[in-house]
Amino acid sequence: MAGDLRHRRAGGADAGEEEGDGGAEAAAKAKAGPPSGGEGAEAAGPGRKEALGWLEWSRGWMGVVGEFFFQRIAASHLANPLELPPLDGVSIIVTGATSGIGLEIARQLAQAGAHLVMAVRRPKVARELIQKWQNEQTEVSMPLNIEVMELDLISLDSVARFADTWNARMAPLHVLINNAGIFTIGEPQRFTKDGYEEHMQVNHLAPALLAMLLLPSLIRGSPSRIINVNSVVSF
Ligand SMILES: NC(=O)c1ccc[n+]([C@@H]2O[C@H](COP(=O)([O-])OP(=O)(O)OC[C@H]3O[C@@H](n4cnc5c(N)ncnc54)[C@H](OP(=O)(O)O)[C@@H]3O)[C@@H](O)[C@H]2O)c1
């Protein structure tokens, strides 16, 4: 992939892409919320609740159990850490890069030379991590090329602000890794200020909006990639 990306970058930016305030417009549409009623609701019929059938439930749970018991075996042939090619000049945004999977992805990509953007809700923590990673570098290795940008997926305004700031650079974006996510269980259901259930917004709507709003930059970095980190539980 990296070879691909570098090859296309050398070829220059794609022509004919549209710029402008598409960000604000898409965010406004997203904030307007789902249509009330409409075809979907009518198809379900009055009083009828759409739900998963037993087959979907069984498939889903089999997937979860399979992942739980066999994930390590299925991945045992992979090197850890994965060997990455030099990623110099490749711009990558990783959301939720301050802990868990996102932190490890971010660290390894930055150490491979990528221009890494940590899109996080806790910038201070991200800066501390960068300092730590810099200190771990040997004397001969290049300084890490990492920047921190604030992004809180619980607010669609924050998503739009992030995308507008990035797009204003008129620079290519080669990879967007939508990693940030939440999974709370046994707590009361909560809704965001935008009016969506929290899991639905943080795990699905906001990352999708982010990807849409960043399209001008992704097109500029073509052939670019959007990677969504998800769960088998999201069936
Ligand atoms: N670990 C697993 O076994 C597993 C399984 C299936 C799917 N996943 C998916 O993999 C992804 C990473 O999981 P993980 O285990 O690494 O989780 P994690 O350790 O809890 O990390 C989640 C990251 O998302 C960030 N985040 C949460 N809410 C956010 C918000 N409103 N705005 C911006 N960032 C936010 C967190 O920021 P803070 O650092 O500030 O808290 C954190 O950096 C998630 O999407 C998760 O659903 C994980």
Q: 89-105, pLDDT tens digit by residue?
A: 999 999 999 999 999 99
Pocket test for ligand 1, best of 95, 125, 162, 179 (most atoms within 8 A of CB): 179
Closest-lying ligand 1 atom to the alpha carbon of residue 96: 43
**Residue 206, burial from CB neighbour count under 10 angstroms (0-12, 13-18, 19+):** buried
Which range marks the domain in which residue 220 is found? Answer: 2-11+19-30+84-234
Whether 72 is covered by a domain: the verdict is: no
In a domain? residue 50 = no
Number of folded domains in the chain? 1
Closest alpha carbon to 37 in 29, 27, 45? 45
Residue 211 domain-assigned? yes
Atom 17 of ligand 1, residue of closest alpha carbon: 100
Establish if 52 belongs to a structural domain: no
In a domain, 150, yes or no: yes
Give the CA angle between residues 83, 221, 216 to the nearest 5°.
135
Would you state the pLDDT for residue 8? 40
Closest CA to 155 of 199, 116, 120, 201: 201
Instruction: Write the CATH number for 170.
Output: 3.40.50.720
Q: Is residue 6 part of a domain?
A: yes
Per-residue pLDDT tens for 114-131?
Answer: 999 999 999 999 999 999
Burial class for 183, CB neighbours closer than 10 Å (0-12, 13-18, 19+): exposed
φ, ψ (nearest 5 deg) of residue 204: -125, -60
Percentage of the chain lying above the pLDDT 90 cut: 57
Q: How much distance in Å is there from the Cα of 183 to the middle of ligand 1?
A: 8
Are residues 139 and 172 in contact, defined by beta-carbon separation less than 8 angstroms? no
Asked if the structure places residue 41 within a domain, the reply is no
Atom number, ligand 1, closest to the C-alpha of residue 180? 24
**Per the domain annotation, does 47 fall within a domain?**
no
Residue 37 pLDDT class (50, 70, 90 cuts): very low
